[in-house]
Amino acid sequence: MKDKRKILTIISLILFVILLFIMNRTFDSYEIRILNLCGIYVVLGLSLNLINGFTGLFSLGHAGFMAIGAYTSAIFTMSPELKQMNYYLKPIIPIFKNIQLPFLPSLLIAGLMAGLIGFLIAAPVLRLKDDYLAIATLGFSEIIRVVFTNTQSLTNGALGLKGLPKYTNVWWSWGMAIGTVIFMVLLIKGSYGRALMAIREDEIAAEAMGIDLFRHKIISFTIGSFLAGVGGALLAHLLGTIDPLMFRFLLTFNILLIVVLGGIGSITGTVISAVVVTVLMEFLRVLDGTMDLGFIRISGIPGMRMVVFSALLMFVILFYQRGIMGTKEFTWDWILNRKKKYTQIKG
Amino acid sequence: MGMSNFLQQLANGISLGSLYALLAIGYTMVYGILRLINFAHGDIFMVGTYIAFYSMTSFLLPWWLSFLIAMILTCIFGIIVEKAAYKPLRNSPRISVMISAIGASFLIENLAIVLFGGRPKAFPIPDMFNKVVKIGNVSIVSVNFYIPIITGILLLILLYVVNNTKTGMAMRAVSKDYEAARLMGIDVNKIVSFTFGIGSVLAAMGGIMWGLKFPNLVPLMGLMPGLKCFIAAVVGGIGDIRGAVLGGFILGLGEIMIVAFLPSLTGYRDAFAFILLIVILLLKPAGLMGKNLTEKV
Range among A329-343, B23-37, B65-79, B213-227 with highest mean pLDDT value = B65-79
Q: How far B55 CA sits from the closest chain A CA (Å)?
A: 24
B231: closest chain A residue by CA:
A135
In contact, A54 and A188? CB cutoff 8 Å: yes
Helices (H), B117-238: 143-164, 166-176, 178-183, 188-213, 223-236
| Terminal CA-CA length for chain B | 55
B101-142 pLDDT per residue, tens? 989 999 999 999 989 888 899 999 888 888 888 877 778 888
Q: Find chain A residues with C-beta within 8 A of B285's C-beta.
A: 127-128, 132
Lowest mean pLDDT among A22-31, A282-291, B237-246: A282-291
pLDDT score recorded for residue A300: 65
| Terminal CA-CA length for chain A | 21
Q: How far A230 CA sits from the closest chain B CA (Å)?
A: 25
CB-based contact B107 A311, cutoff 8 Å: yes
Nearest to A310 among B107, B273, B278 (CB): B107
A137-150 pLDDT per residue, tens? 988 998 999 999 98
Residues forming a β-bridge with B140: B133
Nearest to A139 among B102, B106, B278 (CB): B278
Question: If you count them, how many residues does chain A have?
Answer: 347
The pLDDT-based confidence of A130 (bands split at 50, 70, 90) is confident
| Cβ pairs A/B, distance under 8 A | 102
A256: closest chain B residue by CA:
B99
CB-based contact A149 B267, cutoff 8 Å: yes
pLDDT score recorded for residue A63: 94
CB-based contact A311 B106, cutoff 8 Å: no
Looking at per-residue pLDDT, the higher value among A86 and A106 belongs to: A106
Task: Give helix B269-283 / helix A103-125 axis angle, nearest 10°.
Answer: 50
CB-based contact B37 A131, cutoff 8 Å: yes
Which residues in A have their CB inside 8 Å of a CB on B? Answer: 52, 58, 124-125, 127-128, 130-132, 134-136, 138-140, 142-143, 146-147, 149-150, 204, 249-250, 253, 256, 260, 264, 301-304, 306-307, 309-311, 313-314, 317-318, 321
pLDDT score recorded for residue A295: 64
The pLDDT-based confidence of B1 (bands split at 50, 70, 90) is low
Domain boundaries, chain A: 2-340
Q: Phi and psi of B121, rounded to 5°?
A: -120, 150
B55-98 pLDDT per residue, tens? 999 988 899 999 999 999 999 999 999 999 999 888 888 778 88
pLDDT score recorded for residue A40: 95
E strands, chain A, in order? 291-292, 297-298
Cα–Cα dist A175/A57, whole Å? 27
CB-based contact A303 B118, cutoff 8 Å: yes
pLDDT score recorded for residue A339: 67
| Nearest CA among B120, B154, B125 for reference residue B19 | B154
Average pLDDT, chain A: 87
Q: Find chain A residues with C-beta within 8 A of B37's C-beta.
A: 131, 134-135
Which bin fits A7, alpha (ψ -120 to 50), beta or left (φ > 0)?
A: alpha
3-state secondary structure A188-211: HHCHHHHHHHHHHHCHHHHHHCCC
pLDDT score recorded for residue B270: 83
Q: Find chain A residues with C-beta within 8 A of B278's C-beta.
A: 124-125, 136, 139-140
| Nearest CA among B8, B274, B6, B288 for reference residue B133 | B8
The pLDDT-based confidence of A254 (bands split at 50, 70, 90) is confident
CB neighbour list of residue B273: distance below 8 Å, 6 or more residues apart: A139, B227, B228, B231, B232, B251, B255
pLDDT score recorded for residue A290: 67
Say if residue B297's pLDDT is above 60: no
Domain boundaries, chain B: 3-283
Rounded to an integer, the average pLDDT of A159-179 is 90
CB-based contact A318 B89, cutoff 8 Å: yes
Q: How far A256 CA sits from the closest chain B CA (Å)?
A: 8
> Which of A135, A308, A319 should be substituted to probe chain B, the one whose Cβ sees the most B Cβ atoms within 10 Å?
A135
In contact, B41 and B28? CB cutoff 8 Å: no
For domain A2-340, which CATH number applies: 2.50.20, 3.10.450, 1.10.10, 1.10.3470? 1.10.3470
pLDDT score recorded for residue A1: 57
Q: Find chain B residues with C-beta within 8 A of A314's C-beta.
A: 85, 100, 103-104, 107
pLDDT score recorded for residue A24: 87
Q: What class is the B3-283 domain?
A: mainly alpha
Rounded to an integer, the average pLDDT of A279-284 is 86
The pLDDT-based confidence of A297 (bands split at 50, 70, 90) is low
CB-based contact B99 A260, cutoff 8 Å: yes
The pLDDT-based confidence of B280 (bands split at 50, 70, 90) is confident
